[in-house]
Amino acid sequence: MNQTFTFTDKAKRLCYILMGIGIIGLIWGFASDGKVPDDMAGYNHNRFWANMLLNSFFFMGISLAGTFFLALQYAAEAGWSTTIKRVIEAVTTFLPIGLGLMLLMLLLGVFKVHNLYEWMNGSVYSKVLADGSHNPAFDEKIAHKQGYLNLPFFFVRTIAYVLVWGGFQRLFRKRSLEADMNGDNNHIIHFKNVKSAAIFLVFYGFTSSTMSWDWIMSIDVHWASTMFGWYTFAGTWISSIITITLLTIWLKSKGYLQEVQESTIHDMGKWMFAVSFLWSYLYFMQFMLIWYTNMPEEVSYFYDRIHQFDYRWTVWLTFFVNFTFPMVMLMSRDAKRNAGFLLFVGSCIFIFHWMDVYNMVMPASVHQYKGLGFTELGMFLGFLGLFLFIVLSNLAKAPLMVKNHPYLDESKHLHT
């Protein structure tokens, strides 16, 4: 039976409550962040704006990685995931909102509404002032990166990300719905998406790294890591897989998606397990190589977080939970088929991958003036409410089960 999801008033109220908490968190965060620390010149409500960036990037990343995961299914011509294809598509629908929020954050940086991106202050590039005197704001290390970190080139890249990623997400969704209504040409429409997915994956494979350099790594503008792009990508990917898995389990508990086999849930559990280990490997390798080489321009990232600004407990706890929980609890086949295990482990990993982005953004933005209080909790819940509202609204706009898909029967009878 091809059901349509009903976005109930109860579910909407939950989203509204979460967004209401988020609005209160926004107001509280801005109002309580007015005092400028004595040792942080240029501090301009940095904690508030850092939380805006953190949540915008985290939830945008989930949707973007969902688009990648959808394209991967097309390009691999995978049949196993066909019965949850609508769930994956729904997760991708937040992408335009997420990209819009990120673009807004970057533009606010240009207009000096916030000072999260030190390099956006053009004065750091000039050795001398207009009157010929020495410029005290000049930063030689940042000046060396001007060829890449300059506003015209930066926004050319940013606009390319927004248009291409958003365009492909819209194209995949549009064609998927067209295939439902056009049984005679469904194979043609499907294989158009297969070809488009191959193009998207090539573009995404490069730009997922450059985006992380531009939007996140450049906050720590004096630091650079060649592994940072892959590490960030793995974090967004596992967060997206968890989101898709938890939504699927929740829908099944509500009586939807009865065609989804236990083997499909098992496969999602395997993805959760495998990508968690990919993230853990990249996290450890980046840390180990930087620690081993002990180069001043590289160790500053971890030195600031573990020693100078005292984020050590969030750094180590993030790694411990995101590595140990999947390893211990999802190793067995039965655990990957247990909805309760997946809900618990997935929820824990989801929270601590948000914490991973917290560890990326906060130390460079607020230094030791950090917090995990109502500002952080309220804004996280508000963004979560907005994300769920957009995803569930779009989930209700089309039947939960695709029609006329060439691999639908294979997915309905999946056994592993």
Query: Can you spell out the DSSP letters for 315-365?
Result: HHHHHHHHHHHHHHHSSSHHHHT-HHHHHHHHHHHHHHHHHHHHHHHHHHH
- Intervals of the chain under pLDDT 70: 1-2, 41, 183-185, 416
Confirm if 55 and 387 have CB atoms less than 8 A apart.
no
d(CA 248, CA 87): 7
**With a threshold of 0.75, does the pTM exceed it?**
yes
Which residue in this structure is represented by tokens 């993030």?
Answer: 318
pLDDT at residue number 125: 82
* pLDDT recorded at residue 323: 95
Of residues 213, 263, 219, 255, the one with CA closest to residue 233 = 213
Non-local (6+) Cβ contacts of 94 within 8 A are 59, 60, 62, 63, 387, 390, 391
Chain centre to alpha carbon of residue 184: 37
Q: Which long-range CB contacts under 8 A does 340-349 form with residues at least 24 apart?
A: 342/245, 342/246, 342/249, 342/265, 342/268, 342/269, 342/272, 343/246, 343/249, 345/272, 346/242, 346/245, 346/246, 346/272, 347/242, 347/246, 348/321, 349/238, 349/242, 349/272, 349/276, 349/321, 349/322, 349/325
Cα–Cα distances in Å, from 12 out to 19, 199, 261, 295, 389?
A: 10, 37, 28, 51, 7
Q: What is the pLDDT of residue 371?
A: 87
Using alpha carbons only, what angle is made at residue 219 by residues 155 and 127, rounded to the nearest 5 degrees? 80
Question: 128 - beta bridge partners?
Answer: 134
Three-class SS of residue 17?
helix
Roughly what angle, to the nearest 10 degrees, separates helices 339-366 and 262-293?
30
Angstrom distance (rounded) from CA 155 to CA 147: 13
Helices (H) then strands (E): counts for the chain: 15, 0
| Dist. CA 65–CA 271, nearest whole Å | 13
What pLDDT is stored for residue 129 in this prediction? Answer: 76
pLDDT confidence of residue 183:
65
Alpha-carbon distance of 217 to 225, in angstroms, equals 8
pLDDT (0 to 100) of residue 416: 64
Query: Dihedral sign, CA of 120, 126, 131, 137?
Result: positive
User: How many other CB atoms are there within 10 angstroms of residue 68's CB atom?
Assistant: 22
Q: 280: how many CB neighbours lie within 10 A of its CB?
A: 18
DSSP-derived secondary structure letter, 225? -
| pLDDT 10s digits, 375-411 | 999 999 999 999 999 999 999 999 999 988 888 888 8
- The whole-number pLDDT of residue 141 equals 87
User: What confidence tens digit (pLDDT) does each residue in 162-219 have?
Assistant: 999 999 999 999 999 998 887 666 788 888 999 999 999 999 999 999 999 999 999 9
Residues in the chain: 416
- Maximum distance among all alpha carbons in the chain? 77
Q: Within 13 Å, how many C-alpha atoms sit on residue 174's CB side?
A: 8
pLDDT at position 407: 87
Beta strand spans in 149-272 (E): none
